Amino acid sequence: MWYEHAAEQATDNERRMHEAYRSRQKWKAALVEAVLGHEPKGTGGCTCGASESPCTSVRIVDATNRGITREIERLGGLSRRALEAELYGDDPWRINLILDDDPAAGRSAPAA
Ligand SMILES: [Zn+2]
């Protein structure tokens, strides 16, 4: 009896841990994607249209948590494929357009 209760509790704790991890990953991905959309333009300013770079949006994230800024900088240095894997690799519902972009023709072609 006590064993069944302990097993149920452990399963419930594991489920909550996975939910918390997924939630964290979604927040992380959203923040990273938003910040990576702000890049210095060659002519000055930010790609968001601000006249300075880093713009206010990036400076707010940096002022809030420098560690997050450093992590976003690290992620920004990855290839798009590596970034997708890191941000969405554990999300079974996401369709990886980069890895799944083989031509449709030939995939289901009948064997000759
Ligand atoms: Zn910007």
In a domain, 105, yes or no: no
CA of 55 from ligand 1 middle (Å) equals 4
SS3 46: strand
Question: For 63-98, what is each residue's pLDDT tens digit?
Answer: 999 999 999 999 999 998 899 889 988 665 555 555
How much is the pLDDT for 110? 39
Say yes or no to pLDDT of 100 above 60.
no
CA of 56 from ligand 1 middle (Å) equals 7
CA of 76 from ligand 1 middle (Å) equals 15
Neighbours of 49 (CB within 10 A): 9
In a domain, 96, yes or no: no
Give dist(CA 112, CA 104) in Å, integer: 17
Look up tokens 């369709």; give the residue.
Answer: 95
In a domain, 106, yes or no: no
In a domain, 68, yes or no: yes
Q: What DSSP assignment string belongs to 1-28?
A: -HHHHHHHHHHHHHHHHHHHHHHHHHHH
Residues with CB under 5 A from ligand 1 (ion): 38, 46, 48, 50, 55, 57
Give dist(CA 60, CA 70) in Å, integer: 13
Q: Tell me which residue range forms the domain holding 53.
A: 2-88
> Could you give the number of structural domains in the chain?
1
